[in-house]
Structure 1
Amino acid sequence: MPYEPPPELSGLSLAEIAELAAARKLPPVAQWEPAHVDDSHMRIAADGRWFHEDGEIRRPAMVRAFAALLTRDKEGRHWLVTPSQKLSIEVEDAAFIAVDLKREGSDIAFRLNTDDLVIAGPDHPIRSHGDPDTPALYLRVRNGTEARLNRSTYAQLVEIALENEELAVTSGGASFPLVPA
């Protein structure tokens, strides 16, 4: 069955975004503990492009399938996990890129470069990293992985924060400062 990306965020309500996110059937990678551990020879560049042995993976459906198998351990290492193997994958910055957002009320939803939809909140916090002059913003996605907000999405989020004359946003009942501590 061919993959159909979700509609544009601007045309969806937050309830529809939540339904689409919940409907995505992801493999239970957190439950798998394969004995075989190796290297995938894959890399996710800081700009979100995926590579295998220095050749770019250009098929979005393949990237989306691999992304569903991603996890990040407590030491910050990324892995592609299947029931039979756990393969390391080099990640230059974050596993995903947040490429768009939509705010409805006090909730904020993000679209990732893999077409995943994530609503910020206690389970998907926004984290500010770097220094106050050049912060980078990250959104927790799943299994320890994060998405870095691209420049336009970062700017949209800052606009939301400035409406309240604070450098913080609220979503899912949680508040997230946009300036590193």
Structure 2
Amino acid sequence: MTQHADGADKRPDVIVIPKENAVFWLDADGRWRNEDGPFRHKRIIRHFHASISKDENGYFVSQTTDGIIEKVYFHHEDTALFVVRMISENNRPLLVLNTGKQLSLSPENLFVDHDRLYLIDGNDTIKFGERALFAIAEWIDSENGRLYIRVNGDRYEIREKAEKS
């Protein structure tokens, strides 16, 4: 909100670009792409990831320029959120997302779909990126064709695909 000299509050102008008009998207492996291929500049990639937000209309990236907010809703081939790193904090996994957000692992919310590991966090589905999969692999074991994860001495079964509620 912008405060004017007369004390009146004015909301900034917002330009909304719908998903179907976006010229970029997030592929199934968490890479930003446009018609020319994957983005190559790390600074731009980090900026896009850090700018991801979600509202009732879906995921978007936004920026403010000259007091004008631009919101661009984008297509994502699988999910917009990815675990990109895992840190062990007090012997408990701490997940770092592509947005920079950190989450404590809730092992009961893990599931596997098409040999990929996911986590449900509220209304968001988060996919484990390759680097994070390697990091979490030491916590996972299998028995009788089922996967389990050990956290703080407890063993949790990792479900096959999320159950819809």
Give the helix-richer structure, 1 or 2. 1
Give the structure-2-normalised TM-score.
0.59
* 1:144 CA drift (Å): 6.2
Deviations 1:42-73 (A, max 9, x none): 11111222123444321111111111221234
* 1:91 CA drift (Å): 0.8
Partner of 2:93: 108
Matched, 1:92 2:77: yes
Matched, 1:179 2:159: yes
Change (3 A) 1:49 1:179: same
Change (3 A) 1:33 1:103: farther
AA in 2 matched with 1:92: E
AA in 2 matched with 1:71: S
Give the strand-richer structure, 1 or 2. 2
Change (3 A) 1:55 1:41: same
Whole-Å Cα distance in 2 between the matches of residues 34 and 146 of structure 1?
31
Runs of 4+ aligned residues of structure 1 deviating over 6 Å after TM superposition are none
Q: Secondary structure at the match of 2:40?
A: coil
Whole-Å Cα distance in 2 between the matches of residues 156 and 79 of structure 1?
29
Whole-Å Cα distance in 2 between the matches of residues 170 and 119 of structure 1?
15
Higher mean C-alpha displacement, 143-152 vs 66-75: 143-152
Partner of 1:120: 104
Change (3 A) 1:49 1:155: closer
Matched, 1:67 2:49: yes
Consecutive unaligned residues of structure 1, counting only runs of 5 or more, are 1-31
Change (3 A) 1:148 1:176: farther
Q: Secondary structure at the match of 2:23?
A: strand
Q: Secondary structure at the match of 2:117?
A: strand
Whole-Å Cα distance in 1 between the matches of residues 110 and 141 of structure 2?
17
Change (3 A) 1:126 1:100: farther
Whole-Å Cα distance in 2 between the matches of residues 162 and 34 of structure 1?
52
Matched, 1:153 2:132: yes
Deviations 1:52-110 (A, max 9, x none): 344432111111111122123456x3211335222111111122443442334441123
RMSD of the TM alignment (CA)? 4.1
Structure 1 or 2, whichever has the larger Rg, is: 2
Give the structure-1-normalised TM-score.
0.55
